[in-house]
Structure 1
């Protein structure tokens, strides 16, 4: 019975430690503190035998096979041997339900997300079935009226995931053509899944609609980590040159805020100032249709071109670290701002017919 107790306590300790290694010495000290092991060489040997037995059966992993001298071995739990025994703490469970609230309900019904939601149910031992149901329905997401939705194949997403983490080429069918691609990342924009990947032949960067893509299998070809590091922060491949400008919003946009609130009215906002008359937001903008259509959803009262003061503020905020393509030259920012205004006017011209008929 003592041996079984020791083995269970070892597994319990290693599971608490997650994917990190623990040395034999640290395991012994902690189990001694918990009253599982006593003092002396005999107890240390008992621990070593138990760890060796667990390793032989594949329940634990060791860090090195070539230890020399008296250096202790490092151990961790073999997660694959216990796929259904891991549990979440209450803190982790609350965090996961909060994360779920960022996912629209339609997407929660996708087969690819079903295992994740089932895992929350299975691992959430702090909640009974009724509490889990209440929790799932109480962390919700209200989509924008113009937010899109499309189904994606579970099998295709699984193959893309493997290709990304293993940096391997993937054979896919896209718009009736079979091609080889090097997947970099999947991203979600306005209800739609996209895949950023390099063309297998030309190495040209492309953005694919995942709903139009069918993956057939991985190849043995791998691509260098350099590609992933270079493009991991890229989204769409069409030109979107960033620039700095300001927008004015009504004062009631921030009327409910206190100084301690961290309020972002736009994802690219880097400064905000508000008083009883107006709310000013400093933004990194893009001279593209995507940015224009997104911006006019708000009650914007005025636009202000970039100024020397804005450039200085951008330098203080070290925006180049976040937006590498951003220029801190005022003249270049003004040129990009004018291109943005041109795109904005074109956007409104297209919609004049609708407005005239209202």
Structure 2
């Protein structure tokens, strides 16, 4: 929601964006964007530009798989997903050799003391800025996005690299940089518009100067926004007091009567199932755990919601994560966090 570092792969100096705005646009969210406007006159084998040495074993597996038509050309056509409404997802089947976190900190905080409603103002959403280095006992803390990027599974990193090479062949180096910068900018404007609407509790009304992309995203998310009420947090920093990581939460509010950490995403391609969102479920679980262990927040959360809004205005997919599913992804997040710490400790 990269020991190849994806932002270095993209060639963009987004250090500030990664550390401060992990909610904006996680690279895996758009790593297989279809870009239907791009020319397809010449079929190009993107595997030729992928680091053959680094991904030799994986490349051999992908290109020789007997499970269906898995040739490079057909894989390039994977961008075409069918439309479909997905509200609830099932917990993935448990793998027989699945690992267990060595330090299993619970998702919910049994020791958290909640203030009475009389001592808080429920009408004012909590909005906390990122803490400075002098406010943190151990200096700088890693962000959720940075941790996920630096522990990205090799297969996922391979497809990201393949997508990057394909886009560069179509757009050129400069065009690719401009394209990714535009995606970040669109996501930023989308989040700002959502914040204004949720604070005002009004419906979106198109303005003459609204960009076409923003109009599409807002129209796409409209049916989800109608079920979002009781906003508790907007664009706010969270720090897990025990596990020592930080994040930036888009929103905490009730969705269909369930209090959720809500993560808003933008996409140009359909993502009808939770698996299409890559590491986003882990990101949401990480934010939930941080909120539950951060005393700045007078509540705990055990559900999540990932909303994928589409540029063409088609209805957004709202992927609801119940408490069981959140616990599943919390364990996966703990494993990634442990992997990150192990890598940092190596000389």
TM range (shorter): under 0.3
TM-score (norm 2): 0.24
* Higher share of residues assigned strand: 1
Instruction: Say which structure, 1 or 2, has more relative contact order (CA 8 Å, 6+ apart).
Output: 2
User: Which structure is larger by alpha-carbon Rg, 1 or 2?
Assistant: 1
TM-score (norm 1): 0.23
